[in-house]
């Protein structure tokens, strides 16, 4: 049982997304054991944990790119455990995948159009594209460039724009700051604040635990595929197991 520092996350509301007692096996290996998460509308929720603790696997149970062995996934109380990814995107889940995977031979514009297509509501409208370019101005001069030649920071902006273009209610992000220079890491967290200001919920996996806890409303901590701690960020940040295991010295 996880050490729960705060029982009531937001008890009166229906969660936007809920995992109930989810386990995931890869063959005989159990990557997640009996994991439960709740993400409420407009909340930023951080998922922390060491290497191989099951963070990416958790994100994949939400995007629908891995098979759940046991337990259930709900979107606004509707069961979506075995729904295909495009259907989930159409419901309002945007995905910023690990390593900002995109089609590197396609231009930025084509990647954005495809992001919209993945939402299976047709291609992005001119307005959708314009809105994303306003949100990420550096992309304006890059729209016709192949995504593969962009810098890491530019690619991350494309990945964010692609996740946001169909106006999702929840965006899941797997280590969005990975491999970026400090100034760009700062920018990533500013973008997360902007997304939060638009009342879009965010579920974020981050190695950069302190920065994630600063922006989050709630946090879960995984170890060896189990939730070992959850609660408000200030409580998680000061929990003895966190200060030793994940946060290191105060920076």
Q: Is 55 in the site for ligand ATP (CB under 6 A)?
A: yes
Q: Is 57 in the site for ligand ATP (CB under 6 A)?
A: yes
| Residue whose Cβ sits closest to Mg ion | 56
- Where do contacts with Mg ion occur on this chain (CB under 5 A)? 55-56
- Choose from Mg ion, ligand ATP, none: what does 29 bind? Cβ within 5-8 Å by kind: ligand ATP
Judge whether 108 and 144 are in contact, CB under 8 Å: yes
Cα–Cα distances (Å) from 109 to 96, 127, 150, in that order, read: 17, 13, 13
Give the nearer residue to ligand ATP in terms of CB position, either 92 or 97. 97
CB of 73 to ligand ATP, least distance (A): 16
For residues 155 and 34, what is the distance between their CA atoms, to the nearest angstrom?
Answer: 35
CB of 121 to ligand ATP, least distance (A): 30
Give the nearer residue to ligand ATP in terms of CB position, either 85 or 107. 85
Q: Is 51 in the site for ligand ATP (CB under 6 A)?
A: yes
**Residue choice 4, 14, 21, 26 for contact with ligand ATP (CB under 6 A):** 26
Give the nearer residue to Mg ion in terms of CB position, either 56 or 61. 56
Cα–Cα distances (Å) from 143 to 50, 97, 108, 160, in that order, read: 36, 20, 5, 14
- Choose from ligand ATP, Mg ion, none: what does 105 bind? Cβ within 5-8 Å by kind: none
* DSSP assignment of 80-115: -TT--HHHHHHHTEEEE-GGG---TTSBHHHHHHHH
CB of 203 to ligand ATP, least distance (A): 13
Question: Which H helix or E strand runs over 117?
Answer: helix 108-118
Based on the number of CB atoms within 10 Å of its own CB, is 197 exposed (0-12), middle (13-18) or buried (19 or more)?
A: exposed
**Residue choice 56, 61, 111, 208 for contact with ligand ATP (CB under 6 A):** 56
Percent helix, strand, coil in the chain (nearest 5)?
40, 25, 35
Cα–Cα distances (Å) from 200 to 93, 124, 206, 209, in that order, read: 10, 19, 18, 21
CB of 95 to ligand ATP, least distance (A): 15
CB of 53 to Mg ion, least distance (A): 9
Give the nearer residue to ligand ATP in terms of CB position, either 206 or 217. 206
Give the nearer residue to ligand ATP in terms of CB position, either 40 or 220. 220
Binding site for ligand ATP (CB under 6 A): 26, 29, 31, 49, 51-57
């Amino acid at each position: 049982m996880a050490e729960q520092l705060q029982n009531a996350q937001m008890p009166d509301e229906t969660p936007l997304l809920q995992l109930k007692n989810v386990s995931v096996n890869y063959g005989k290996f159990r990557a997640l054991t009996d994991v439960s998460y709740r993400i409420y509308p407009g909340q930023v929720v951080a998922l922390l944990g060491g290497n191989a603790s099951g963070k990416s696997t958790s994100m994949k149970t939400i995007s629908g790119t891995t098979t759940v062995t046991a337990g259930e996934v709900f979107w606004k109380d509707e069961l979506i455990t075995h729904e295909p990814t495009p259907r989930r995107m159409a419901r309002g889940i945007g995905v910023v995948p690990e390593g900002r995977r995109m089609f590197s031979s396609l231009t930025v514009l084509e990647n954005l159009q495809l992001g919209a297509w993945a939402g299976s509501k047709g291609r992005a409208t001119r307005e959708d594209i314009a809105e994303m370019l306003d949100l990420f101005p550096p992309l304006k001069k890059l729209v016709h460039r192949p995504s593969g030649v962009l810098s890491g920071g530019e690619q991350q902006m494309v990945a964010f724009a692609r996740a946001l273009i169909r106006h999702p209610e929840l965006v899941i992000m797997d280590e969005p700051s990975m491999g970026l220079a400090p100034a760009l890491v700062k920018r990533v967290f500013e973008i997360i604040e902007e997304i939060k200001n638009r009342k879009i919920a965010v579920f974020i996996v981050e190695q950069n635990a302190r920065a994630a806890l600063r922006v989050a409303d709630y946090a879960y901590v995984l170890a060896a595929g189990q939730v070992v701690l959850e609660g408000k960020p200030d409580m998680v940040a000061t929990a003895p197991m966190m200060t030793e295991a994940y946060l290191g010295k105060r920076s």
